[in-house]
A = this chain, B = another copy of it.
Amino acid sequence: MSLTKKQQLLDAALNLFIQQGIQATATAKIAKAAGVANGTLFHHFASKQALVEALHLNIKEEMAQAMTPPDPNLPLREQMIHLWQAAIRWGLSHPQKFQFLRQLANDPQYPLSQQHAMLSLALPLLPQLIKQGQKAGILADWPQALILNTCHSQFLSTVSLFTEQPELAKDPTYQQAAFDILWYGMAHR
């Protein structure tokens, strides 16, 4: 039962964290929602903080696995579309986990997990691709930080928008449009 209960705790925690916030969720409520005893939580996790970190790690790993690398022989734009679609797809099919990552990224209590941590996680190949694109004269010659920042924010806000308004997500036109806004924005003119 051990693995089961540990997983039940993680599931219950995720569920409560995104509803009420991390701080506002008492460990006792997590245990109750998981159907285990109060002390069992501390049997599997040294502290509430450790539980949060374990959950964070789990989700990061799961997301990383979903991000298959693009075929390097494809044109740059196609490679980027591949990354973009994989990231968006994961965000839309795991809205709770996605929101948890957002929450952590904005929580002053967990400053280690900066915004960029999430980006580099979702799109670890992006920096190289951008550099390639700039060298090849396909992308505009602005600072990396600015371009990465834009990619990141467009990714986050697109998933959020599509999660809130699922009817938009259903139309593939808009999925494409979200990428095009980004692409034409950073393309060289």
* Interface set of A (CB-CB < 8 Å, partner B): 18-21, 23-24, 102-103, 106-109, 115, 140, 142-143, 145-147, 149-150, 152-154, 156-158, 160-161, 165, 168, 174, 177-178, 180-187, 189
Contact = CB atoms under 8 A, between A and B. Distances in A.
A159 to B, nearest CB: 11
Copies in the complex: 4
29 contacts: A19-B108, A23-B23, A24-B109, A103-B106, A103-B108, A106-B106, A115-B160, A140-B177, A142-B174, A143-B168, A143-B174, A145-B165, A146-B161, A146-B168, A146-B177, A146-B178, A147-B181, A149-B157, A149-B158, A150-B154, A150-B157, A150-B178, A153-B153, A153-B154, A181-B185, A184-B184, A184-B185, A184-B189, A185-B186
A146 to B, nearest CB: 6
A152 B150 CA distance: 11
Contacts of A182: 185
A88 to B, nearest CB: 13
Contacts of A18: 108
Given A21-B23, A187-B184, A157 B152 contact: yes
Nearest to A18: B108
Contacts of A165: 145
Contacts of A140: 177, 181
A156 B153 contact: yes
B109 A177 contact: no
A127 to B, nearest CB: 15
In this complex, the member of A20, A107, A115, A153 whose beta carbon has the largest number of chain B beta carbons within 10 angstroms is: A153
